[in-house]
Chains A and B, each alone.
Chain A
């Protein structure tokens, strides 16, 4: 009884700030400017299918690269002395103390023509501009979301009982077999929550593509931002479709791992 009383504020919070806005978005998406029921907003929303696909593609690519970079890094960190581990994790977190826009803006300067990267590569005789394309957008996203991949994997890996590893070694496993049979399977929950925490925000992000991308790079988040200036109904419809996409993704992830890992 007591625990139920304690949960009341949270229930009220969810009702006011999650459920009611969600219902409002649904109502807006299924009506037109005259206020009557209409499927026009969805018809218009499907005009942006290619941007949906592009955003999902960019999000998947960023998630994949984050995993490729984050997983070995997490593994390496868990092998270090505890005090060194704390320092390294701290160093990974420090950039996140800075404003998100500033960090993206820093990448614009790093990648631009005559920027540090260009100057360094021009010593080798390679000249060019490295921003204003899709690759730059992905670089920005990876930088932005890497800690969200690293931390859950690191946490899960750190909790693996060293006894299990020793047991595997005693039973004759070599280093690779220990990793494949013991460490990897036990770290799957971390991988799944890492993927979720990177994919979901990167699919719906905005501004990054505007800063780092070229003329073609517009993501669904930017479209929602712009459409809401003139037409709330289409904006709501696109938001709803995006939510469904993400929901389907989460369900798929759910099939792979145990439910507790889902953030």
Chain B
């Protein structure tokens, strides 16, 4: 009896192997491969009836995509710097792009292979982190904002100081990430978060220490459950994600802080370790096909720099202030600078020590 079972199982395994190989028979991989290293949950993968972008790319170009993800810019940096992996497309944020450019870790792009850059809004073409626009193609942009529960917050928030509101004691969430948390504190202390020193970090840290007794928790991804299920009253987060939370819980509302907030860009770059540069450019080009960019934008709710893609979006998304904040608001925003390693490391330590005390 056991023998028969073994034979059947063995046969099944063989069949499934065969199925795998025949699955490749439609030619995916015949045009080589491309290693994409992106943020987690940062591409439309076929949920909510939206396009499965990677499958679509493989079908169209026959290039096989090896897709892996990271959680922070620093993880990406450490991976590129310290290991022997080869990635073809990476998606760092603004300050990390300047750091990678300064350290000579990015390749210049050949824009002849990326004709779809024609759709990209001029103001996203030469970003401050890549002033000549030679190394990067903007993927998404967005701002940080406040999300709050209307049933719990009595004084409608207007700015970041709502996160220091004594009446919400024990119901406030805060970024568990030194850059975003410190930047908010700096804004309230009148320091420019795009250019700061160690003394400024001390001032901001004192402001955060003042906030700590009022807080419920320092969170990142947990903010989704906390806010969607009405566990907490108010939290700062990325505006695109706030739009997602608001769809899950109608008690939620948002506030773009009057002081302005952090404007961030994530852009496609090709690191020097790339072995498939042409395929990488094909991938970047595909990501900026208007319908593809629109699918990603509908899924992520972060602003797309692709002007043509906007035509494919639902009105609700197109007109959302969270996905596309107004030009007037953007004028008030700042972009993170690439501060020196020394200052950044100091800031990170200070932030941990706030939690430790």
A residues at B contact (CB < 8 Å): 33, 44, 47-48, 50-51, 108, 112-114, 132, 210-211, 213-216, 218, 223, 226-231, 234
Q: Which residues of B contact A (CB under 8 A)?
A: 72, 74-75, 78, 176, 212, 215-218, 222, 225, 229-231, 341, 344-345, 348-349, 351-353, 355-357
Once the chains bind, are A51 and B356 in contact (CB under 8 Å)?
A: yes
Min CB distance B84 to A, Å, is 15
Taking a contact as CB atoms under 8 Å apart, the answer to whether A229 and B352 are in contact is: no
Q: Are B352 and A218 in contact (CB under 8 A)?
A: yes
CB of A230 within 8 A of CB of B356, answer no
Which chain B residues lie closer than 8 Å to A211 at the CB level? 222
B231 and A112 form a contact (CB under 8 A): yes
Give B75's nearest chain A residue, CB to CB.
A229
Report yes or no: A230 in contact with B341, Cβ–Cβ below 8 A: yes
B residues less than 8 Å from A48 (CB atoms) = 352-353, 356
11 contacts between A and B (CB under 8 A): A44-B349, A114-B230, A214-B217, A215-B215, A215-B217, A215-B218, A215-B355, A218-B355, A228-B78, A229-B75, A230-B349
Contact A231:B356 (CB < 8 A) given known A214-B216, A215-B212, A215-B216: no
Closest B residue, CB atoms, query A215? B215
Given contacts A48-B356, A214-B216, contact A229 B222 (CB under 8 A): no
Are A47 and B355 in touch, CB under 8 angstroms? no
**Identity of the chain B residue whose Cβ is nearest the Cβ of A44 in the assembled complex:** B349
Instruction: Tell me how far the C-beta of B88 lies from the nearest C-beta in chain A, rounded to whole angstroms.
Output: 24
CB distance from A40 to the nearest CB of B (A): 11
A134 to chain B: closest CB distance in Å?
A: 13
A contact residues around B225 at 8 Å (CB): 108
With both chains docked as a complex, state the minimum distance between the C-beta of B68 and any C-beta of chain A, in angstroms: 18
**Residue among A114, A215, A228 with the highest chain B CB neighbour number at 10 A:** A215
Evaluate whether A223 and B217 lie within 8 angstroms (CB atoms) in the complex, with A33-B341, A229-B75 already known. Answer: no
Complex Cα distance, B209 from A216, in Å, reads 11
Q: Which residues of B contact A51 (CB under 8 A)?
A: 356
- Which residues on the A side are within 8 Å of B75 (C-beta)? 229
Q: Are B349 and A227 in contact (CB under 8 A)?
A: yes
Q: Is the CB of A47 within 8 A of B217?
A: no
A160 → chain B, closest Cβ, in Å?
35
Across the interface, name the chain B residue whose C-beta is closest to A223: B352
For B212, list chain A residues within 8 Å (CB).
215
B217 touches A132 (CB 8 A): yes
A228 to B348, CA, bound (A): 10
A21 to chain B, nearest CB (A): 13
Which residues from chain B contact A226 at a C-beta distance below 8 Å? 348, 351-352
Query: Contact partner of A230 among B218, B344, B353, CB < 8 A?
Result: B344
Return chain A residues, CB-CB under 8 Å to B218: 215
Least Cβ distance of A4 to chain B in Å?
Answer: 33
B351 CB contacts on chain A under 8 angstroms: 226
- Knowing A33-B341, A132-B216, A214-B216, say if A229 contacts B348 (CB, 8 Å): yes
**Which residues of B have CB within 8 Å of A218?**
352, 355-356
Is A113 within 8 A of B231, CB to CB? yes
In the complex, are the beta carbons of A227 and B231 less than 8 A apart?
no
Q: Which residue of the partner chain A has the closest CB to B232?
A: A113
Q: A211-B222, A230-B74, A230-B348 are in contact. List 5 more A-B contacts (CB 8 A).
A: A213-B217, A215-B217, A223-B356, A226-B348, A227-B349
